Structure formats: C-alpha cells, structure tokens
Amino acid sequence: MPQSARPGTPRTILIVAGALGGLAIAIYNYVTPLTGVNGTYGAALAIFGCAMLILGAFVVQLTPPGALRGSFRFLIGLGAVLTALAGYFLHEWWLIVAMAITLLGLAFDIAQSRTTRKGALA
C-alpha cells in the first residue's frame, strides 16, 4: 500500500497545526473584551471556519487517493483563504499567519502525495 493511502502518516500535521492555532486565536478574540471583535459574527465565523479546516484535514488523512481527497483538498484551500480574508477584515493578523501555515501544510500534503505516487509508478 502506498504511503499516501495509509492512515497515520503525518501528511496533514501542518494543516491541523495551523487550523488549531487559528481556532485558538479566533476563540481568544471572540471571548476577550476590548479586542474590537468580541462577540461579533465575523469572529464566530472564523471559529467555525477553523473548526471545519481541522475536520477536513482528518477527512483528507483518512480517505484513499482519488477524487474525494482532491475535493477535500480544494475545500481546505478555499476555507483557509476565506478564513484569512475574514482575519483581514477583522484586523486579526495572527489569524492570517495561522491560515498561511495551513496553506503551507496543504501544499506540503499535495507535493508529498505526488512524489509518493511517482515513486509507486517507478
């Protein structure tokens, strides 16, 4: 079985780390008074987006290679970009950094699966 199809490989660790960091930042900004965004719908949406990114990373980790994994990768990328955009509108720069880490992890995941697939074909 190729490495990219085996559960338990650390392909998505950066995606989860970035999304967990973003979730912690978004929760902190939502509940802390005087952050400027406490209790707003935008901060709640950032919390939801980060939680869905974590869930999506686990789905990508557990699905076999194919169209479903590709679809979830696309959704993770879209979610990270839109959550970073929400961070921009909320003036939460650390949330943007966390989403950049998530996108870096997504790029690493895609690159690792392509090299594994090339190695399996050779």
% of the chain at pLDDT higher than 70: 85
Could you report the per-residue pLDDT of 73-117, keeping only the tens digit for each?
Answer: 999 999 999 999 999 999 999 999 999 999 999 999 888 877 666
How much is the pTM? 0.84
Domain boundaries of the chain, sorted by first residue: 12-112
Kindly tell me if the per-residue pLDDT of 67 is higher than 80: yes
If one counts every other C-beta atom within 10 angstroms of the C-beta of residue 39, the result is 11
Closest C-alpha to 92, from 9, 29, 3, 34? 29
SS3 track for the chain: CCHHHCCCCHHHHHHHHHHHHHHHHHHHHHHCCCCCCCCCHHHHHHHHHHHHHHHHHHHHHHCCCCHHHHHHHHHHHHHHHHHHHHHHHCCCHHHHHHHHHHHHHHHHHHHHHHHHHHHHHC
- What is the model's pLDDT at position 1? 46
State mean pLDDT over 45-49: 95
Average pLDDT over residues 41-64: 93
